[in-house]
Copies of this chain bind each other. A is one copy, B any other.
Amino acid sequence: MIAIGSAYYPEQWSLDRVEYDASLMRDAGLRFVRIGEFAWSRLEPEDGKFQFDHMIAAIRIFERYGIRVIFCTPGAAAPAWLVRRHPEVLIRKPDGTSAHFGVRQHTCYASPVYRKYLGRLVEKLADALQECTNLAGFQIDNEIGHTVFGLCHCGHCRKEFRKWLEERYGTLEELNRAWWNGFWSQDYSSWDEIEPGNMELRENSAHVLDSIRFHSAQKCAYLQFQAEILRRHFPGLPIAANNASGSADCHALYALVDRAGLDCYPTSEEDKSLSYPADRYAGMKPGVPFWVLETGVGGHLISGVPHSRRLSSHYWSFIAHGAELISIFWWRSAPGGFEKTLVGIVGHNGKPRRRYHQLKNWITELDRVTAATGPLPLPRAEAGILYDHENLWGYSCGFWRLWQDYENAAVKTHEACSKLHISSNVISPKESFDSFKIILMPSLLHISPEVAERLKAFVANGGILIASGRTGTQDANAKFLTGRCPEHLSDLFGIALEDEIPSASRLPGEGETPDPEKHVAFAGLLDGGTFRGFAAGTLLDAEVADAEILAAFENSDLAGCPAVTEKKYGKGRAIHINAFEIDSASFLRILRHAADAAGLVLPDIPGDVEILKRGTVTFLINRHGRSLEFDYAAADAETLLGERHGTRIALPPYGVCILKGNAGRA
């Protein structure tokens, strides 16, 4: 059963009010509350003085109303007394100044002092929670890494960073070599000379990359020590983390917990689909359902007029993608504090009004549908999109604007899959590729031998691999390779990437006449038709050893050179796009070609309709604010939600149709 719940702050309200809220929740069909993440100053108002009574009493009230509890460890907001007693727990900035009390996420994840105090509290809490029978699970901290204060430079971090480097590289000679410190006279002659990087322009990328790696490891250890305490006390309960920052290796971090938690608020941007974040979290722990640990119920950042219809569309989409639970932020708008203008299910005055009743109606609908479907297996992704955090950091080091470029490459790749109705997950290259028909690999600079072997096996066994950009041209320290590229994969693709040609060319705009002085065109034949498109950004100077040229560049210094190549390898194919970016239409051509080769039968419905299958249940979701009508063969299927007449399905703006049974086949 898919559970809907909400964030709740018992520490802010009287027990009477908690009781009233619990009754409202039960009436609306809410099944759990997520509590505790900012409660430290109320749970331990002074050093060692623990006051859990109110919190436990609140949990007991929820128990009585059949509402379960996800308890969050309260490390994201250290109390004032701790900061005053131990200012060394504050994040220190590169210029020697410190973060300050009064916001949140102001403390160093690596600080042993901080971990000592937090660990003591978590132990005590775990003891106290033993008596509660309605615990549903735990969340560690809140949004780990989302601090505004950057990478910590405190004394402990500086010392530990040096130790971490010494373990990694053994000698300074090796570190100087691995970081290419000969440039700009950056060799170290003593470990003590090394400071964490500042993520500023003009720093050596290897230095910064290792600085982020080190801090990512601290975030993992910070999560892990808390998870261990909780596992010791509650061996059976699931532990989650939510919305870890991209400055942590999210795959590594979520690997330490039982559920990956997505925080994802609808925005006022029209037609902005949330299927990319959903598929990122669906791929975070493949085979395990994800949790939506925060989503909005109407503001303050959100909009759309009217919005209620769009919100339920988003909720259905989360479920279609495999969400096991949805926790709405928040039950009630708080009167004060920084987030006071964020609306809740219940407004500032605490009365159940419009949003409460809209949500209640939707939960009724949800319960009706899920009663009809029974337990749902996870949706099966046909395509895997590889996304690697260390690659992200290496890609962008020294040029932080590129951070977004890499993210955008993943988003665009995912969008192309959506348009063709190829279900996809965004996964770590370390995950198994076995369940996929297609692997998409945008700009993966570093390829480990292990990943290379599995990619080869994937293709040999019939998989289709599509890569683009500087595939396999860098080592693990973001240094360019000087040998044959794509490293370990040159044979798989049948090409050698010999050089890159920077290009300021842009893709032709909508309706713009292509100009050979400004736009780089490529042309060829694909599936028996002419194939013509445009490339932008850095182009790759590739030599073909043993591959078919699907298209060649028509102009620029690379005129005549291969733009897109394909090699049949075993039962599969490896396609390489020799540019950082090509126009969407061309990418869709290549993807459709790959889908054909993979034997996928793609539904003939509008690209704006999201389609997902969980077992025999099919979800059809209109992602946009325009009505759509189309034919979809589902003769024997039962319509659980939405409007269908024979094969004709009508979706209002943001509308949803749910079918049970044989669908998608004539």
Contacts and interface: CB of A to CB of B under 8 A. Distances in A.
Interface of A: 9, 11-12, 38-42, 45-46, 74, 77-81, 83-84, 94-97, 100-104, 148, 179-190, 192-195, 197-198, 200-207, 268, 298-308, 333-341, 343, 347-351, 353-355, 358, 398-399, 473, 475, 477-485, 498-505, 516-520, 538, 541, 555-559, 625, 653
A192, A304, A625, most chain B CB atoms within 10 A: A304
Contacts of A95: 97
Given A11-B182, A189-B45, A102 B203 contact: yes
A102 B185 CA distance: 9
A204 B45 contact: no
19 contacts: A77-B185, A80-B194, A84-B192, A95-B97, A102-B204, A102-B207, A104-B184, A202-B338, A303-B502, A303-B503, A303-B505, A304-B517, A305-B505, A305-B517, A305-B518, A306-B559, A340-B480, A349-B484, A354-B501
Number of copies: 3
A185 B304 contact: no
A557 B653 CA distance: 15
Nearest to A475: B335
A426 to B, nearest CB: 26
Contacts of A38: 183-185
B100 A195 contact: yes
Given A102-B197, A102-B203, 10 more contacts: A77-B184, A100-B198, A184-B338, A300-B502, A305-B520, A306-B557, A343-B502, A348-B481, A353-B499, A517-B653
A187 B102 CA distance: 10
B80 A188 contact: yes
Nearest to A334: B183
A193 to B, nearest CB: 4
Contacts of A180: 12, 334-337, 340
A183 B9 contact: yes
Nearest to A350: B482
Contact of A340 (B298, B303, B358, B479): B479
B74 A185 contact: yes
A516 B207 CA distance: 53
B498 A338 contact: no
Contacts of A193: 80-81, 83-84, 101
Contact of A504 (B268, B481, B482): B268
Contacts of A503: 303, 305, 307
A535 to B, nearest CB: 10
Nearest to A356: B499
Contacts of A198: 100, 102
A101 B195 contact: yes
Nearest to A95: B97
Contact of A555 (B201, B306, B517): B306
A202 B500 contact: no
User: Nearest 6 pairs between A and B by C-beta?
Assistant: A303-B504, A180-B336, A299-B502, A183-B337, A268-B504, A77-B185
Contacts of A475: 335
Contacts of A358: 557
Contacts of A498: 347, 349, 351, 353
Contacts of A46: 189
Contacts of A477: 336
A575 to B, nearest CB: 23
A83 B306 CA distance: 59
A185 B343 CA distance: 20
A187 B79 contact: yes
A125 to B, nearest CB: 14
Contacts of A184: 38, 77, 103-104, 337-338
Contacts of A519: 305
Contacts of A77: 184-186
A323 B608 CA distance: 59
Given A38-B184, A184-B38, A398 B338 contact: yes
A303 to B, nearest CB: 3
B205 A336 contact: yes
Contact of A9 (B182, B347, B501, B504): B182
B353 A541 contact: yes
A76 to B, nearest CB: 8
Contact of A354 (B186, B347, B499): B499
A534 to B, nearest CB: 11
A187 B80 contact: yes
A181 B101 CA distance: 12
A426 B552 CA distance: 46
Contacts of A482: 335, 348-350
A284 to B, nearest CB: 27
Contacts of A517: 304-305, 625, 653
A632 to B, nearest CB: 25
A187 B45 contact: yes
A185 to B, nearest CB: 4
Nearest to A193: B80
A479 B182 contact: no
Contacts of A102: 186, 195, 197-198, 203-204, 207
A179 B102 CA distance: 12
A498 B299 CA distance: 16
